[in-house]
Amino acid sequence: MKQTSVTTNAPCWVELGTDDPAAARTFYAELFGWRPDSEVRPEDADYTQMFLGAAPAAAVTPRYAPQQPTAWTVAFAVADAEAAAARIKAAGGAVRKEPTDVSDLGRFSVAADPSGAVFILWQARAFAGAGVFNEPGSLGWVELATRDASGARAFYPAVFGWSVASSEHYTQWGLDGRDFGGMLVMDDRFPPQVPPHWLPYFAVGDVDNTVGRAVAMGAEVMLPAYSMPGGRRIAVLRDAQGAAFGIYRDGAEV
């Protein structure tokens, strides 16, 4: 089964931090059919929610610090941000920004697992997160790339209570019978300077067509389109500002 709505301890949102938010908004609007939120709030004028139809799908923001990479960041829904931050510290991770209020929308915290892969905690109030999952143009899968697979298998279940389904080549994360992500072990295909990270995958109607359109708009192909056992077809791209993301289309339930 797939995730179809915001679920506590599962992915709930993705944000792109970039030096050129305007160009990013244009690129993803064309690629996924997103539109920027027409409501600009004075307290977060630089933060733009992107909608798919009537549903919030993602956000585009400027980079807020010199050390912040141009990248997508995955957020996980939690019932209590302070309690989740405490579990992260106890499991050997780091809390880089302590839980903080975002007006009446919720509380967020920025954290990293023991290998350094960064993610966000989101405790919802007025804003729950994405309003659509696993539909063309929306978030449908998240993947951890790490050099410490055994450490990740211990850390994330301790923090979020995830189930772990491992095969010879891949590990899948899930909750309550719904798998929403996986883990890729970083080998010599990854340059040493590439840090561990979370990569979002967005559902599309046609992977090959989407790759072609993305390249025509200045994106780079990092992983050419290919079909996995079970029928899922995937590709990984890097947008013109340098942010990596995946796309996929299912031929069968995962």
Residue indicated by tokens 């960064």? 118
User: 139-249 maps to which CATH number?
Assistant: 3.10.180.10
Is residue 95 within a helix (H) or strand (E), and if so which, with residue range?
A: strand 94-102
- What confidence score (pLDDT) does residue 254 get? 38
- What confidence score (pLDDT) does residue 67 get? 86
Total length of the chain: 254
In order along its 254 residues, the chain shows pLDDT tens digits of: 578 889 999 999 999 999 999 999 999 999 999 999 866 554 565 899 999 999 999 999 999 888 889 999 999 999 999 999 999 999 999 999 999 999 999 999 999 999 999 999 999 999 999 999 999 999 999 999 999 999 999 999 999 999 999 877 789 999 988 899 999 999 998 999 999 999 999 999 999 999 999 999 999 999 999 998 888 999 999 999 999 999 999 985 43
Sorted by where each begins, the domain ranges of the chain are 11-124, 139-249
- What confidence score (pLDDT) does residue 44 get? 60
- What confidence score (pLDDT) does residue 120 get? 98
Beta strand 118-124 with 71-77 is parallel
How do residues 205-242 score in pLDDT, each as one tens digit? 999 999 999 999 999 999 999 998 888 999 999 999 99
- What confidence score (pLDDT) does residue 24 get? 97
CATH superfamily for 11-124 is 2,3-Dihydroxybiphenyl 1,2-Dioxygenase, domain 1 (3.10.180.10)
Residue indicated by tokens 């989101």? 122
In terms of Cα–Cα distance, which of 161, 183, 162 is closest to 172? Answer: 183
How do residues 71-88 score in pLDDT, each as one tens digit? 999 999 999 999 999 999
- What confidence score (pLDDT) does residue 66 get? 84
Q: What is the DSSP letter of 89?
A: H
Q: What is the DSSP string of 186-213?
A: --TTS-TTSPPEEEEEEE-S-HHHHHHH
Please report which residue ranges of 100-182 form alpha helices under DSSP H: 149-160
Nearest-angstrom CA–CA distance, 168 and 113 = 23
pTM for the full predicted model? 0.95
